[in-house]
Amino acid sequence: MRKQKKSMLILLSAAALAAAVSGCSSSSEPADESIVFTEAATEATSAGEAESDSAETTDPNGDTPTDEGYGILREASTSTIGSLNPLTYINSYSSTQIKRSSLTLYTYFPNEDYTFCDLSGELAAEDPIQVDEEGKVWQIKIREGVTWENGDTLDANDVYYTWQMMLDPKLANLRASNFAKDVIEIENAMNYFEGSCTWDEVGLKLIDDLTLEIHTVTNHEPREIMTHLAHPANCIINEEYFEKGMNADRTETLYGTSEEYWISAGPFIVDSWTNDAEINFKKNPNYIFKDKIWLAGINIKVVEDASTQLQLFDNGEIDYVKLSADNFQKYEEDPRVLYSSANSVTHITLNTINPDQPILANESFRRALFYATDRATIADMTANEPADYIVPTPHIIDLESGTAFRDTEEGKANLHENYGYDPELAKELFDEALAEEGIDKVTLTMIYNDVAPQTIMSEYLQQSWAQIFGTDKFELKLQAMPSSQRGDLMRSWGTDPTCYEISWGGWVSTDLMPWNAFKYWTTYYSAKNEPFLSEEFDAVFDNANFGENRFEEGVRLNAVAEMERMLVEPANIIPVVESIDKYLKSDRLELTMQNWANRVEWGWDYAKIVE
Partner 1 sequence: MVLYENNKEKYDSIPKEKFVQVQKDQEIHDVDFKTKPIGFFMDVWLRFVKNKASVIAAVIIFILSIFAIAGPSMSDYRYDEQHPELVNMPPKIPAIAKMNLGIFDGAYLLENRQYDNLSDPEKYPEGCVLEILNPRLVNGQRIVDVYVDYYKYMGLEDEDCYWLGSDYLGRDIWTRLWRGTRVSLLIAVISVCCNVFIGVIYGSISGYYGGKVDMVMMRITEIISAFPRIVVVTLFIMVAGTGMFSIIMSLVIKDWVDTARMVRAQFYRFKGREYVLAARTLGVPDMLLIFRHILPNSIGPIITSSMIAIPSAIFSESFLAYIGLGLQAPEPSLGVMLSRGQKVLLYFPSQLVFPAIVISLLMISFNLFGNGLRDAFDPTLRGAE
Q: Which positions touch partner 1 (CB under 8 A)?
A: 16-28, 30-32, 35-40, 42, 45-46, 48-49, 305-307, 310-311, 326-327, 329-336, 377, 380-381, 450, 452, 455-456, 458-460, 462-464, 477-482
What φ, ψ does residue 208 adopt, rounded to 5°? -155, -170
CB of 322 to partner 1, least distance (A): 15
What is the 3-class SS of 350-416, one letter each residue?
A: ECCCCCCCHHHHCHHHHHHHHHCCCHHHHHHHHCCEECCCCCCCCCEEECCCCEEHHHCHHHHHCCC
In the complex with partner 1, the residue whose CB is nearer, 478 or 508, is 478
CB of 89 to partner 1, least distance (A): 24
CB of 477 to partner 1, least distance (A): 6
Q: Give CA angle at 86 (171, 166), nearest 5°.
A: 35
Please give the Cα distance from 205 to 126 (Å, whole number).
Answer: 18
- List alpha helices for 57-119, DSSP H: 92-100
**192 residue type, one letter:** Y
CB of 90 to partner 1, least distance (A): 20
In the complex with partner 1, the residue whose CB is nearer, 328 or 521, is 328
Please give the Cα distance from 214 to 199 (Å, whole number).
Answer: 13
Burial of residue 40 (number of CB atoms within 10 Å: 0-12, 13-18, 19+): exposed
Q: Give bridge partners of residue 129 from the DSSP assignment.
A: 139
In the complex with partner 1, the residue whose CB is nearer, 31 or 248, is 31
In the complex with partner 1, the residue whose CB is nearer, 62 or 482, is 482
- Compute and round to an integer the Cα radius of gyration of the chain: 26
In the complex with partner 1, the residue whose CB is nearer, 453 or 505, is 453
In the complex with partner 1, the residue whose CB is nearer, 16 or 248, is 16
Please give the Cα distance from 378 to 466 (Å, whole number).
Answer: 16
In the complex with partner 1, the residue whose CB is nearer, 425 or 480, is 480
In the complex with partner 1, the residue whose CB is nearer, 180 or 457, is 457
In the complex with partner 1, the residue whose CB is nearer, 244 or 336, is 336
Using alpha carbons, select from 362, 173, 322 the residue that is nearest to residue 251.
173
- From residue 579, alpha-carbon distances to 371, 375, 378, 565 in Å are 20, 12, 11, 21
Helix (H, G, I), strand (E, B) or coil at 573: strand
Can you say whether residue 75 is alpha, beta or left, with left for phi > 0 and alpha for psi between -120 and 50 degrees?
beta
Residue 574 contacts residue 503 (beta carbons within 8 Å)? no
Name the strands in the sheet holding 211-215, side by side, starting at the edge strand that comes first in the sequence.
129-130, 137-141, 211-215, 204-208
In the complex with partner 1, the residue whose CB is nearer, 131 or 480, is 480
CB of 478 to partner 1, least distance (A): 5
In the complex with partner 1, the residue whose CB is nearer, 90 or 452, is 452
In the complex with partner 1, the residue whose CB is nearer, 293 or 446, is 446
Contacts of residue 280, defined as CB under 8 A and 6 or more positions apart, other chains included, come to 270, 271, 272, 273, 297, 298, 299, 300
CB of 33 to partner 1, least distance (A): 10
**157 residue type, one letter:** N
Q: Give CA angle at 592 (589, 598), nearest 5°.
A: 115
CB of 49 to partner 1, least distance (A): 5
CB of 23 to partner 1, least distance (A): 2
Which run of H or E residues covers position 227? helix 222-229
**555 residue type, one letter:** V
CB of 331 to partner 1, least distance (A): 5
- From residue 65, alpha-carbon distances to 83, 134, 343, 365, 431 in Å are 30, 43, 30, 59, 66
CB of 357 to partner 1, least distance (A): 16
Helix (H, G, I), strand (E, B) or coil at 576: strand
In the complex with partner 1, the residue whose CB is nearer, 272 or 492, is 492
Please give the Cα distance from 530 to 574 (Å, whole number).
Answer: 12
Please give the Cα distance from 370 to 469 (Å, whole number).
Answer: 13
CB of 582 to partner 1, least distance (A): 13
CB of 38 to partner 1, least distance (A): 6
Contacts of residue 53, defined as CB under 8 A and 6 or more positions apart, other chains included, come to 45
CB of 140 to partner 1, least distance (A): 46
